[in-house]
Amino acid sequence: MNIMKKALVGIIMGSSSDSRIMHAAAEILDEFGVSHDDQIISAHRTPTRLDEYAKYAEKNGFKVIIAGAGGAAHLPGMIASHTVVPVIGVPILVYNDKQQKKSDKHKFSAFGGLDSLLSISEMPSGSPVVTVGVNKAGNAGIYALKILANESSSIKKMLKSHKDKQHKSVLKESEDLKRLGLKKFVKKKFK
Ligand code: RP5
């Protein structure tokens, strides 16, 4: 079901290396039937695309941009500096995921994602980027839905039922835990 045919969310990432993480944002938007426009834009390798994309996002009426990047992670901040469309930044731990050799030791950021977290969240005053946790692209998707819900009662309703599902799932787990006892519960759940 697509309740929003026109893309209202722009999902961008610094490299194809980020795509497997950023996919979680797309997944939750798809679940809610919200269309998104997905692109790779590198702040470092395609700097001229930053301004072009910001104009494109405004022209196409995107209500929010989700931007993910790893390492020095300038993409979210640079996009935010080019537009008034709110930007949600996703710091990414996976780094150079294109690497074929399993033995390659440089697949992950040397600083465990803290580099991109700080780079994205510590924007100077006047040009904020709302930042989710490292690799938490799904949370960025949910936050984008919350922004859209201000203008859509159907999204608001779906978000409430999403919360309700979470509540019920925790209750169910707690009942299982009580019934089985901690030892059996752990064995069953994590075997
Ligand atoms: C960043 O550098 C990207 O966002 C990515 O997380 C990281 C590595 O990119 P590749 O060298 O794998 O393209 O700009």
Q: What is the pLDDT of residues 125-138, one digit of tens each?
A: 999 999 999 999 99
Cα–Cα distances in Å, from 68 out to 31, 56, 72, 94? Answer: 20, 18, 11, 11
Note whether 176 and 83 are same-domain residues.
no
Total domain count, the chain: 2
Whether the predicted pLDDT of 6 surpasses 70: yes
Cα distance between residue 15 and residue 54, in whole Å: 18
Give residue 27's pLDDT.
98
Which of 74, 93, 96 is the pocket-test mutation for ligand 1 (most atoms within 8 Å of CB)? 96
The binding-site residues of ligand 1, defined as CB within 6 angstroms of any ligand atom, are: 14-15, 17-18, 42, 44, 69-71, 92, 95-96, 98
Average pLDDT of the chain is 93
Least confident of 20-29, 50-59, 90-99, 166-175: 90-99
Q: Is residue 182 part of a domain?
A: yes
Does one domain contain both 172 and 143?
no
What's the rounded Cα separation, in Å, for the pair 58 and 114?
Answer: 31
Nearest Cα to Cα of residue 87 among 71, 99, 75, 104: 75
Q: How far apart are the first and last CA of the chain?
A: 36
pLDDT band at 2 (very low <50, low <70, confident <90, very high): low
With H, G, I as helix, E, B as strand and everything else as coil, classify residue 154: helix
Shared domain check, 172 and 83: no
Could you list the residue range(s) of the whole structural domain that residue 171 is in?
164-189
Question: Is residue 16 situated within a structural domain?
Answer: yes
Residues whose CB falls within 8 Å of the CB of residue 80, separated by 6 or more in sequence, listed in order: 87, 123, 127, 128, 129
**52-61, 92-101, 121-130, 136-145: least confidently modelled range:** 92-101
Same domain, 55 and 142: yes
Task: State the distance from the centre of ligand 1 to the C-alpha of 68, rounded, in angstroms.
Answer: 10
Instruction: Express as a percent the part of the chain with pLDDT over 70.
Output: 93
* Cβ-count burial 147-165 (b if 16+ within 10 Å, e if not): bbbeebeebeebbeeeeee
156 in a structural domain: no
159 in a structural domain: no
Cβ partners under 8 Å of residue 152, min gap 6: 3, 4
- Please name the residue whose Cα sits nearest to atom 12 of ligand 1: 96
Nearest residue by C-alpha to atom 11 in ligand 1 = 96
Q: Answer whether residue 158 is part of any domain.
A: no
> Taking residues 41-46, what's their average pLDDT?
96
What is the per-residue pLDDT for 103? 63
Whether residue 120 is found in the same domain as residue 170: no
* Residue 157 is assigned to a structural domain of this protein: no
Whether 94 and 175 share a structural domain: no
